[in-house]
Structure 1
Amino acid sequence: MKIMTSGESHGYGFYGIIEGFPSHFKIDVERINSRLRLRQSVFGRGDRMKIEDDKVEIKTGLWNGETTGSPITFFIPNRSLTPPNERTSIPRPGHADLGGMMKFDFDDTRIITERASARRTVMDVAIGEFASQFLESLGIKVYGFTKGIGGIETNLMADNEPEIGKHPLLCPDKKAEEKMIEMINEAYKGGYTLGGKVTVIVKGMPAGIGTFTQRQRRLTSVIGRALFDIPSVKGVIFGDEDIWKVKGYEGVDSIFEGLRRKTNHAGGIEGGMTNGQDIVIHLIAKPISTQKKGVKSVDLDTMKESETTYVRSDTCVVGAIVIVATAVVATAVMNELIDSFGGFTFEDLKGNFSSYRRRIDEFQK
C-alpha cells in the first residue's frame, strides 16, 4: 500500500491518496470529520482554528460508500486562501525556513512555510481516522492522551481517549490537567509557548506483527518514522521511559505459564515485532518555535541581524498532537497489516488476519 499527501497551508487545500487498499470496506465519513473537529478544538490552539472548518471530501475510490480497490483520494479545502503576511526574508529559527530557502533557492520564507506548516497534519488526521476504522474492524484500537505539559506530568494510564467535554487537554488526570491549563493561560499572556508529552496506546495486536529480518520493516522503525514526521515531535520512546535507570534483569518482561507477562517495559514490541501486549509509545514535543515576541535572526536581503515578525500561532499543541499521533500510528499499523495479509477484498484480508490470529492463539495454549 502507498500513501501520499500534498497541499499547502493556504491555497486550495490538502489532498491525500491511498493506493492498494482492498475493496468492500465501508467508510464512515462523518467520523473522519468529527476527528478533524477535535484536532481544532483541543485547548491551546490559536486563531487559525477559528478560520477553518475542516471537512473531508472523498473524491475517488468509493462506490455506494464502500472502497472499490482503486486509489482513494481525500480532499480538505482551505477557507484561508492567501498567506496573512507579505513577503519576508527573515527566516524563523526552529522552522524549515532557512534550510528550505537555501535548498530550493527562494528569497521568501512563505514558500517554504506553506508546505512545512503543521496545518498539513489535517490530512494525516483524515487518513488516520480512516485507518482507525479499518483497525477497529479487525479488533484493534488506537488511542492517546496528554501525559504532560510544561513540567507538569501525570502517571495515570487511560483505558480510552479522554472525552474532550470533560478533559479539554485530553489528559485523564483532572487535577494535573487543571494545572496544565493554568500554565497555558499564563504562557498565552506572556507571549511564549509550551511543550509536553503524549502517550499513544495500541490494543488488540497479536504477536509477530513486524519483523526482525529487515531494519526498515521492524515495527519500531515503521511507527517511529511516522511519528517523527509530526512537527514538534523530538523524541519517541517505546515502553518504559525510565528503562535506562534500572538493572538489566529488572527491565525485562519475564514470561510465565501460558506465555503471560506481568510487566510491559518493552512497550509491546520486542525485536521489531509485537509480543501480544499493548503497544505503548511516549512522545516528547518541543514548545513550538513561533513566539509573539521577536526572535533573533538575519534578514537575508541585507544579511544583517534582525528579529522575526509574528502573525499568529498556537500556545500549546500537545493536545492536538494526541490527535495527530494516534492518526499516524493507526496509519502505520494499517499499512503494515495490509502489506502482511493482503487480499483484493476487505473480507479476504480479514480472513487472512483472523486465520493468523487463531494460529497465534493456539500457539499460546
Structure 2
Amino acid sequence: LAMHLMSVQAIKGVEIGIGFEVANNQGSVVMDEIYYDDESGIKRKTNHLGGIEGGMTTGEELVIRCAMKPIPTLYKPLKSININTLESYCASIERSDNCAVPACSVVCENVVAFVICKYFLDKIGGDNLNDLKSNYNSYIKRLGDRGWKR
C-alpha cells in the first residue's frame, strides 16, 4: 500500500498507524495486544500499528496517512533558470487553485481500494462474479471450519 501511495503525484510520505511515532516509543507502548473473547473472536486492544503488522493486515481498521507537497506555484515566485540559456529568472504565476488535498484524498482512497481488490482477487480468484462469490464463500467456510470468526 505504501509503495502504491508513494506513486501518486505529490505524495512525499506515507504513514501507517502511528507511523514515525513508533521510533520515539517503547515496544510495550507501540504494540497492539491480542485478546480473545467468545463473541468477537481474536481482536486487538488498540490499533497503534494501523491494522498492518509484518506486511499483513491484522483485521483491524487500516489507518494510513499521506503527506502531500504544497502546490508548486507561489504568488511570491521562486527563482529558477531558463533551461536554454541557463540564465536566472523568477518563475511565473500560472495556477489559481489553492488546495489540491481534497482531490488527492480521492485519488489515494482509490489507490488503496485498487490494491486491496487486486490482492483479494489474487487470493480468492474467479473469472466472473459468480465464481468470485462461490470462491469467497468456500474460503470463509474453510476459515470457519478452522475456528476463525469473521
Coarse TM-score class (shorter-chain normalised)? 0.7 to 0.9
Counterpart amino acid of 1:350? K
Q: SS where residue 259 of structure 1 aligns?
A: strand
Counterpart-to-counterpart distance in 2, 1:340 and 1:293:
51
Pick aligned residue for 1:292 from 75, 80, 101: 75
Q: Measure the CA separation in 2 of the matches of 1:363 and 1:229.
A: 39
Question: TM-score, normalising length from structure 1?
Answer: 0.37
Separation (CA, whole Å) in 2 of partners of 1:321 and 1:293: 24
Q: Can you list the C-alpha shifts for 1:290-310, whole angstroms capped at 9, x where unaligned?
A: 223321111012111112112
What are the ranges of 5 or more consecutive residues in structure 1 without an aligned counterpart? 1-222
Deviations 1:299-342 (A, max 9, x none): 01211111211222421211222211111111111111122222
Tell me how far apart the structure 2 counterparts of residues 267 and 227 of structure 1 sit (CA, whole Å): 15
1:340 is matched with: 123
Which residue of structure 1 lines up, in the alignment, with residue 147 of structure 2? Answer: 363
Task: Tell me, in whole angstroms, the C-alpha distance in 1 between the residues paired with 2:70 and 2:28.
Answer: 36
Q: How does 1:93-242 map to 2 (within 5 A)?
A: 223-241=1-19, 242=21
Following the alignment from structure 1 to structure 2, what is the Cα–Cα distance between the partners of residues 273 and 350? 23
**1:275/1:234 Cα in 2 relative to 1: closer, same or farther (>3 Å)?**
same
Shift of 1:286: 1.7
Give the 3-state SS of the residue equivalent to 1:234 in structure 2.
strand
CA distance in 2, matches of 1:310, 1:316: 15
**What is the SS of the residue equivalent to 1:279?**
coil
What residue is the counterpart of 1:14 in the other structure?
none
Q: Hey, what's the Cα distance between the residues in 2 that align with 1:280 and 1:243?
A: 14
State the Cα distance separating 1:282 from its structure 2 match. 1.0
From 20, 31, 52, the equivalent of 1:269 is 52
Task: Letter of the 1:254 partner, please give it.
Answer: E
Task: Give the C-alpha shift of residue 279 in structure 1.
Answer: 1.2
Q: Distance in 2 between matches of 1:353 and 1:292?
A: 54
Which TM-score applies when normalising by structure 2? Answer: 0.85
- Which AA in structure 2 matches 1:269? I
Task: Report the Cα distance in structure 1 between the residues aligned to 2:4 and 2:48, rounded to whole angstroms.
Answer: 22
* Structural RMSD (CA): 1.8
Deviations 1:125-183 (A, max 9, x none): xxxxxxxxxxxxxxxxxxxxxxxxxxxxxxxxxxxxxxxxxxxxxxxxxxxxxxxxxxx
Task: Find the partner of 1:312 among 95, 109, 125.
Answer: 95
| 2:79/2:89 contact within 8 Å kept | yes
Relative to structure 1, the CA distance from residue 303 to residue 324 in structure 2 (aligned partners, 3 Å threshold; closer, same or farther) is: same
- CA 1:313–1:359 in structure 2 vs 1: closer, same or farther (change >3 Å)? farther
Structure 2 unaligned residues grouped into runs of 5+ = none
Percentage of matched positions with identical amino acids? 38
AA matched with 2:11:
V
Equivalent pairs counted in the alignment come to 143
The equivalent of 1:323 in structure 2 is 106
- Provide the rounded CA distance (Å) in 1 between the counterparts of 2:100 and 2:14: 17
1: CA distance, partners of 2:47 / 2:141: 23
Task: Tell me whether 1:251 sits opposite 2:30 in the alignment.
Answer: yes
Q: CA deviation at 1:364?
A: 2.9
Over 3 Å counting, the alpha-carbon distance change for 1:337 and 1:225 in structure 2 is same
SS in 1 for 2:104: helix
Q: Write the distance in 1 (CA, Å) between the matches of 2:99 and 2:51.
A: 29
